[in-house]
Amino acid sequence: PPPPSPPPPSPPPPIGCTDSRALNYKQFFVVDDQTCEVGGCTDSRLAQYDAGATWDDMSCLVVLGCMDSAAYNFRERANHADGTCLYQGCLNSLAINFDPSATLPGSCISVIDGCMDPTAFNYYPASNRAGACFYIGCTDSTRLNYNPSATFDDGLCQSYFHGCTNSLAGNYDPLFNQDDGTCSIAGCLATDAGATFNVPCLCDGDCGVTRRRRLEGDDDCWDPAALNNRTGSSSGADCVYAVDGCTDSAATNYLLIANKDNGGCTFPTYGCTIADGTLNYDSTATVPLGCVNVRMGCTDTTASSFEPTANVDSGECQYLVAGCIVAAAFNFDSVATEAADCVAALPGCMDTASTNYEPAANVAADGDCVYARPGCPAPSASNFDSLATENDGSCVTLDPPPSPPPPSPPP
């Protein structure tokens, strides 16, 4: 008997569009043939761009505006930047907070020059830009209380007190700061090179015996330079020396140990001794006191930049007239000087019947309104309507040709 006939070959799987979003999608297609007609936004510049779309379904609605949330005129619904972003800041180039990148006026802070060092004589707490600082102290480098940091003399440099500065001398005193060559030193001139007067008992070693003969209550002073020198003294313990100096305790050169006034007392004259940067300079003053330092700032109490501690007007007072000063804004105020409550002009279609109605718009741009035209917008459909803006489901797509019949088996 003849062999059985082989089974007929399987028909090829149906080929067509397998994307359920496409107009030409058929459920029975198994193999996609890349012919899907998918509507969507085909403008790659926009946020709603659909890379899989093959034809524009009019969803590419452009909403122009500023897309920077940091800008004053940020438009939340904008999907295409129009380069109109505006930024508030101080536009006064003389202000301390000048912002060269700002495009809208904002609050400005006037420059206040002054000393910013709390340790300085003319420290100005309200200053925001460093000015000259004054430091008070003794500026005479030869004095014991010299202050190298001082820029203005305080008139209180320590006085020179002339006398003996050798602690071995009988007339030494620690208050003396300038040696005048008067040191009086007891000793044996024959053997003691440092002695300035001879004491015989210091030569023969009998001072101890002599000291025992000292009468109680008597001055024991062997120094001939002393006011109370007494012959036969065994020591200089009670010597009193003449000390010339100022004996008035109110003087700047008062010498506590002086017992003879020399007529040279100097008395301070209090007042402002600093001419630069003060308002009450006193040329007769010798000791600084009560200086009124210049405090620059706005002194007009009606100004928004009024500085209560200023005593000299800087000429930079600012006056606030709140309002919107942006000419392009919806609520522009021609008399305003300070930007406030600006409402950005938002052009757009204000017709609620349009497909691109913009609820945030406040400036009519009705010429840009787009209205729906039902029809078939798919180019591959047999009833394609190039003017259609809205798919009404009427697109007629041609079915692919039927698969060819399988070949007949050989006889």
- 366: helix, strand or coil: helix
How many angstroms separate the CA atoms of 192 and 203, rounded? Answer: 9
The answer to whether the CB of 280 falls within 8 A of the CB of 291 is: yes
**How many Å is the Cα radius of gyration of the chain?**
53
Q: How many CA atoms lie within 13 A of 59 on its CB side?
A: 16
User: Side chain identity at 206, as an amino acid letter?
Assistant: D
DSSP state of 100: T
pTM, full prediction: 0.52
Supply φ then ψ for residue 198, to 5 degrees. Answer: -90, 135
CB 342 within 8 A of CB 324: yes
* Residue 63 vs residues 72, 350, 356, 358, 384: alpha-carbon distances, Å: 18, 13, 9, 8, 28
DSSP structural state of residue 208: H
**Which of 35-49, 119-133, 152-166, 167-181 has the weakest average pLDDT?**
35-49
As beta bridge partners, residue 137 has 153
Percentage above 70 pLDDT, the chain: 93
pLDDT band for position 403 (50/70/90)?
low
Residue 228 pLDDT more than 90?
Answer: yes
Cα separation, 267 vs 256, in Å, equals 16
d(CA 396, CA 21): 15
Say how far apart CA 307 and CA 327 lie, in whole Å.
32
- Res 210 pLDDT > 60: no
Delimit the domains of the chain by residue range.
10-55
Q: Is the pLDDT of residue 55 over 90?
A: no
pLDDT, tens only, 69-116: 999 888 888 888 888 888 888 888 888 999 999 888 778 888 888 999
Tally of CB atoms within 10 A around 242:
12
The helix (run of H) or strand (run of E) holding residue 88 is strand 88-89
